[in-house]
Amino acid sequence: MAKQNNVTNEEIVETMQVARYMKQATVNDTIANSLKILEGEK
């Protein structure tokens, strides 16, 4: 779809990297919250 709309490879790669970083941030937040919950169970 992106290629059909004349999006460059560089733009596609940049978008993929942004999505990857956003996903990592979400995972980090989830882990941090889970660790806080576990710490409270001591």
Query: pLDDT for 2-27, tens place per residue?
Result: 889 999 999 999 999 999 999 999 99
pLDDT of residue 42: 55
pLDDT at 41 over 90: no
Q: Which residue has the tokens 């889970």?
A: 34
pTM: 0.67
Enumerate residues 6+ apart whose C-beta is below 8 A from 11: 2
pLDDT digits (tens, 9 = 90+) for 21-39: 999 999 999 999 999 999 9
